């Protein structure tokens, strides 16, 4: 599609194509790799060949696994409607409107989730399908973390776990209905009471007969990579978070020891999205609010005549793009530590010409995302209006990443300070370590050297399996995760794989790769001997993991499709990716800043440690004091 960096008449704008059609060369390459993968899977190929394999796998996924949540694309807004405010031609609107100048409601807050599978393959479940087998019984069998049974993910640090929740709070949030589920409990369940209550997901209005069979559900957040967890998903919320001065900054309070997110009268953080708040969110929301304000200072110095709105808009653009870049080229290669993935994700941002040449001379190819990366390659929705999908939400169910407790250390000498259960660090307890004298630098060092949990069976933290939120709703999050997938029509494991054109297991032993007969037997017993009943989440947790991967290949297929789509559909990344939109200084800031740079800019005491660590989301090199306490050597790779 054409770049949206300048006004266009309705007649010159490109509407989304009716259906994505790969070129003849692309189809030939897809077929060739599919044939090769019968004998050698992509992850066993040499790095660059594996990366090309993934690039053409993504083309296949674009062909078959993008489906609109609406029967009528007109729901995305009227084609070519005029902007309501010219300010948002070169700035993000908090509700996501007019990211696309062609489909102005696309990706907005309040628009439906799409699907990665045809809607007829994702029907509303019957009562029997909803409760068979009992989701609480499955949670009790496959989610519970047995005493002393914490399974660490030793290639990651706890900052990586906090990061993905920080990002998902930007991307999606379903709306609750007023009606509740009364989840039946299995015989002998230790849960107090006869049922467990949970608000149902509120379905969208029926706009088409197909909505009866497959209801649509609205995303309360914007679907764009626009920092809505910090800035809010409406202009009214955004305005309430800004200072009263014409400086473009977000409001932060200072208690004499550093900046922190202000609270309302009830103690809730004043930020764009504060659900499921814990110390990890306290850290990252504060960090990127500080980064926004540092950008404002830089812009004010470079452009003294800018208004407060202009400073704010440019700072937000840069901050959002920086988070997208960090996620693409730093977090993803940490959790999917495979040579082909590192090459592929760097190519997503920089292209195969690489980071150094792109920084030096800019884009080599004007339109090729393979040669010069997705940013600036031109917007394309692959024939389907952009949205995040129900299946994308499903594969990001990663509660297993959370440990049972956190051992805190100081950032200057590495001395152990205290060990606190995670449950005591949630909601109003999120500031407890700071109240007890620790600094944000101490918290980030702590998260840098602690391990998260592995994304696998029997690794949910206990506090999430008996969890009461500030509204007083008590639930088992393992049960919730299973029920939400069933409720929203996410196919079960075998069908999920079939629709992704992956091999489909016919026995429980095939799910586990013939590597765990005990687990296969437990699955068979729990699912009544019917392999097709296995929930997508349980099956994904049970399958063998590709070496270096933090989650299953089944989930990964959805990831590689949607990871690039979030960039490719965004006008401010794939389209108006230039110094004119971001300012030369802001554009340089994005291109030359890493997560390590952000951390050291605001917490300089982390500099010596991070100088020895390659990736901010892999275990940091520990200081001697903390190494003696933990009794483990870091496996962080040497710094570049």
CA distance 149 to 453: 10
Instruction: 470-477: list long-range contacts, CB under 8 Å, 24+ apart.
Output: 470/268, 470/427, 473/197, 473/198, 473/199, 474/196, 475/196, 475/197, 475/198, 476/136, 476/139, 476/143, 476/191, 476/196, 477/399
The tokens for 413 are 């000498």
Using alpha carbons, list the distances in angstroms from residue 556 to 58, 239, 336, 561, 562: 11, 37, 9, 9, 10
CA distance 430 to 426: 5
CA distance 391 to 117: 8
| 67, 169, 274, 381: the active-site residue | 169
224 within 8 A of 107, measured Cβ to Cβ: yes
CB atoms within 10 A of CB 418: 14
Spatial CA neighbour of 453 closest among 50, 53, 146, 207: 146
Spatial CA neighbour of 448 closest among 153, 154, 159: 159
The tokens for 195 are 């049922």
469 φ/ψ angles, rounded to the nearest 5 degrees? -85, 175
Using alpha carbons, list the distances in angstroms from residue 368 to 49, 363, 371, 556: 19, 9, 5, 24
Chain centre to alpha carbon of residue 358: 26
Q: Cβ neighbours of residue 25 under 8 Å, at least 6 residues apart?
A: none
Q: Is residue 147 exposed (0-12), middle (13-18) or buried (19+ Cβ within 10 Å)?
A: exposed
CA distance 112 to 332: 26
Q: Which residue has the tokens 């390459």?
A: 29
280 within 8 A of 447, measured Cβ to Cβ: yes
**Within a 13 Å sphere around the CA of 395, how many CA atoms are in the beta-carbon half?**
23
242 φ/ψ angles, rounded to the nearest 5 degrees? -85, 155
566-605 in b/e form (b: 16+ CB < 10 A) is bbbbbbbbbbbbeeebbbebbbebbbebbbbbbbbebbeb
Chain centre to alpha carbon of residue 461: 20
The tokens for 489 are 């029509």
Using alpha carbons, list the distances in angstroms from residue 339 to 18, 336, 571: 36, 9, 30
- Say whether 169 is catalytic: yes
CA distance 595 to 326: 6
Chain centre to alpha carbon of residue 146: 28
Catalytic residues: 169
């Amino acid at each position: 599609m054409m770049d949206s960096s300048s006004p266009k008449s309705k007649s010159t704008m490109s509407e989304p194509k009716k259906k994505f059609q790969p070129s003849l060369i692309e189809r030939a390459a897809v077929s060739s790799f599919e044939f090769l993968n019968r004998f050698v899977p992509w992850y066993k190929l040499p790095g660059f060949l594996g990366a090309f394999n993934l690039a053409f796998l993504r083309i296949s996924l674009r062909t078959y696994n993008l489906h609109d949540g609406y029967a009528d694309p007109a729901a995305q807004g009227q084609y070519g409607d005029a902007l309501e405010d010219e300010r948002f031609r070169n700035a993000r609107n908090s509700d996501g409107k007019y990211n696309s100048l062609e489909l102005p409601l696309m990706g907005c807050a309040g628009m439906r989730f799409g699907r990665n599978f045809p809607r007829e393959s994702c029907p509303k479940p019957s009562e029997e399908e909803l409760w068979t087998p009992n989701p609480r019984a499955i949670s009790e069998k496959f989610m519970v973390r047995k005493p002393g049974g914490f399974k660490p993910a030793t290639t990651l640090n706890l900052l990586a776990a906090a990061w993905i929740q920080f990002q998902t709070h930007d991307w999606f949030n379903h709306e609750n209905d007023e009606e509740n589920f009364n989840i039946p409990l299995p015989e002998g369940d230790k849960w107090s009471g006869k049922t467990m209550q949970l608000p149902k997901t509120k379905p969208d209005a029926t706009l088409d007969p197909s909505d009866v069979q497959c209801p649509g559900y609205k995303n309360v957040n914007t679907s764009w990579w626009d920092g809505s967890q910090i800035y809010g998903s409406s202009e009214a919320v955004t305005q309430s978070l800004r200072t009263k001065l014409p400086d473009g900054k977000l409001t932060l309070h200072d208690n004499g020891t550093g900046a922190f997110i202000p609270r309302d009268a009830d103690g809730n953080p004043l930020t764009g999205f504060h659900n499921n708040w814990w110390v990890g969110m306290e850290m990252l929301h504060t960090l990127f609010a500080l980064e926004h304000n540092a950008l404002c200072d830089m812009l004010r110095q470079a452009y003294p005549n800018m208004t407060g709105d202009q400073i704010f808009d440019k700072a937000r653009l840069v901050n959002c793009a920086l988070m997208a870049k960090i996620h693409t080229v730093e977090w993803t290669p940490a959790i999917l530590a495979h040579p082909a993935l590192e090459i592929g994700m760097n190519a997503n941002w920089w292209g195969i010409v690489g980071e150094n040449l792109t920084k030096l001379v800019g884009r080599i190819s004007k339109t090729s995302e393979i040669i010069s990366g997705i940013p600036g390659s031109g917007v394309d929705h692959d024939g389907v209006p952009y949205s995040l999908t129900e299946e994308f939400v499903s594969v990001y169910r990663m509660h297993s990443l959370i440990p049972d407790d956190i051992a805190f250390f100081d950032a200057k000498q590495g001395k152990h300070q205290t060990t606190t259960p995670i449950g005591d660090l949630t909601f109003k307890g999120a500031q407890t370590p700071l109240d007890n004298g620790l600094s944000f630098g101490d918290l980030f060092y702590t998260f840098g050297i602690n391990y998260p949990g592995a994304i696998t069976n029997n690794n949910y933290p206990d506090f999430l399996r008996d969890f009461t939120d500030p509204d007083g709703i008590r639930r088992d999050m393992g049960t919730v995760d299973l029920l939400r997938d069933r409720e929203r029509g996410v196919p079960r494991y075998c069908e999920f794989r079939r629709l992704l054109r992956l091999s489909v297991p016919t026995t429980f032993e095939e799910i586990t790769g013939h590597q765990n007969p005990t687990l296969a037997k437990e699955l068979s017993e729990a699912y009544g001997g019917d392999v097709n009943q296995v929930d997508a989440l349980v099956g994904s947790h049970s399958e063998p993991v590709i070496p270096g991967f933090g989650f299953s290949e089944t989930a990964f297929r959805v990831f590689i499709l949607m990871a690039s789509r979030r960039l490719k559909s965004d006008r401010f990344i794939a389209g108006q990716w230039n110094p004119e939109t971001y300012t030369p200084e802001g554009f340089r800031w994005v291109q030359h800043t890493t997560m390590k740079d952000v951390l050291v800019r605001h917490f300089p005491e982390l500099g010596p440690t991070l100088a020895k660590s390659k990736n901010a989301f892999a275990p940091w090199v520990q200081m001697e004091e903390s190494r003696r306490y933990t009794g483990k050597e870091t496996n962080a790779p040497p710094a570049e």
